[in-house]
Amino acid sequence: MREVAQRAGVSTSTVSLALRNSPLVAEETRARIRGLAEKLGYQTHPFVAAHMRSRRKSRASVSAPVLALVDTQRVRHGWRDHANTMLREMFAGAQARAHARGYATREFWLHEPGMTHERFSEMLRARGIHGILIGPSSDLQLELNLKWEWFSVVRLGSARVSPMLHRVVIDHYQAGMLAARKAFELGFRRPGLTVRDRFGEAHDRRYEAGFQTACAHMPGMKPAPALLTPDLPDGPTLIRWVGRHRPDVIVDAEERHVYDLLRAAGQRVPEDVSVISLCATMHAGPLSGCVQDGQIMGVGGIDFLLTLIERNETGLPAMPVTLSTNVTWNQGQTLRSGAGSAAGRGLVGDGAA
């Protein structure tokens, strides 16, 4: 619009009025501006135009344009009501940010019975939706076949989604490094990492890479062999691993899985064993570890999506962009003071094969 205004020798507001065929602009000037806009290939994006109308008029007369929040979880409302705090905050953050910027949101479940991806795309288009924010997937591997050319799309989370799309993620590499560095600063020298193997693979081993890289550059740091399991480890598996490898602090890639297993086995945290969570969800909360801010991810996803919409960028990106959000540290209550004491003391199954 700015270029059209410069060529026509008028203000951008005059161009906007002329393209809306406003009688406030002389007919001759309107025709000249429309001709220049056509020559320059300028087109008003209908979604942005609706948004601007909704800001100029009362909400009662013009409804705000709608962004789709697409739930990819396997149960209805699985994103909004997820057991993981961070995922729920992601949804709430996206919804609040959209509304703050003058857009409405509507939740759509990808796995409606009998719903193909083609029908899903047609349903969104029929509702006048041009912008899609795809929520995190618990499948870790997800293939989508939407009509990409109809939409501007951003997704949240690091699960492997095909095809590649613009996305907003947690910096798992930085989280792994931060956990190792904090463990070292607090006097721990034999940290042990627990990761679901499928989770690690889906996230390109970024937790492991950050953790191992940091440990390799700190004198005296001798990490225990990682506990890699196909799915979440059960209590006996965890206790056997601790008894065999004697970590002085357990670094858990989940929110609080290890913590809950230890408590169920009758272990005291941190008196018997210390725990760092790589997915802590609140500052000043009881879990020591890396706080992943789901709300910031949701806000970032909406801001990224609206940038694409305003530039009228639709379809699969030639060069997908990943925006990473950093984690922050919460001291919490699951780390033992005086960390130089014996590792894993008092654990059931100590030394078990």
Residues 107-165: pLDDT tens digits? Answer: 999 999 999 999 999 999 999 999 999 999 988 778 999 999 999 999 999 888 899 99
Bridge partners of residue 69, in order along the sequence? 107, 133
| Res 350: pLDDT | 46
In the chain, which segments carry CATH 3.40.50.2300?
66-165+294-325, 172-292
- Summarize pLDDT for 285-302 with one digit per residue, the tens: 899 999 999 999 999 999
Confidence of residue 55 (pLDDT cuts 50, 70, 90): low
| Res 50: pLDDT | 54
| Res 60: pLDDT | 47
| Res 347: pLDDT | 53
Higher per-residue confidence, 27 vs 156: 156
Confidence of residue 59 (pLDDT cuts 50, 70, 90): very low
170-191: burial string, b at 16+ Cβ within 10 Å, e else: bbbbbbbbbbbbbbbebebbbb
| Res 263: pLDDT | 94
| Res 314: pLDDT | 94
Rounded average pLDDT over 236-245 = 95
Residue 49 scores a pLDDT above 70: no
Residue 214 scores a pLDDT above 80: yes
| Res 63: pLDDT | 72
pTM exceeds 0.85, yes or no: no
For domain 172-292, the CATH class is alpha beta
User: What sign results for the dihedral spanned by CA atoms 152, 156, 158, 162?
Assistant: negative
Rounded average pLDDT over 333-338 = 86
* Inter-CA distances, 303 with 94, 104, 258, 344, 349, Å: 9, 14, 35, 45, 50
CA distance 183 to 186: 5
The closest alpha carbon to 32, from 51, 8, 10, belongs to 8
How many of the other CB atoms lie within 10 Å of CB of 227?
A: 24
Confidence of residue 353 (pLDDT cuts 50, 70, 90): very low
Higher per-residue confidence, 172 vs 47: 172
| Res 346: pLDDT | 47
The closest alpha carbon to 191, from 243, 254, 259, 251, belongs to 251
Residue 236 scores a pLDDT above 60: yes
- Give the list of residues 6+ apart from residue 351 with CB closer than 8 angstroms, or none: 243, 244
Q: What mean pLDDT value characterizes the chain?
A: 88
The closest alpha carbon to 135, from 102, 104, 105, belongs to 105
Higher per-residue confidence, 128 vs 61: 128
Residue 62 scores a pLDDT above 70: no
| Res 284: pLDDT | 82
CA distance 79 to 88: 6
Give the rounded percent of residues in the chain with a pLDDT score beyond 70. 88
- Summarize pLDDT for 264-276 with one digit per residue, the tens: 999 999 999 999 9
- Summarize pLDDT for 304-331 with one digit per residue, the tens: 999 999 888 999 999 999 999 999 999 9
Long-range contacts of residues 303-308, Cβ cutoff 8 Å, at least 24 apart: 303/97, 304/154, 304/166, 304/168, 305/67, 305/131, 305/132, 305/133, 305/152, 305/153, 305/154, 306/101, 306/103, 306/131, 308/131, 308/152, 308/153, 308/154, 308/166
User: What is the residue whose two structure tokens read 């230890």?
Assistant: 262
The CATH topology of domain 66-165+294-325 is Rossmann fold (3.40.50)
Rounded average pLDDT over 191-220 = 94
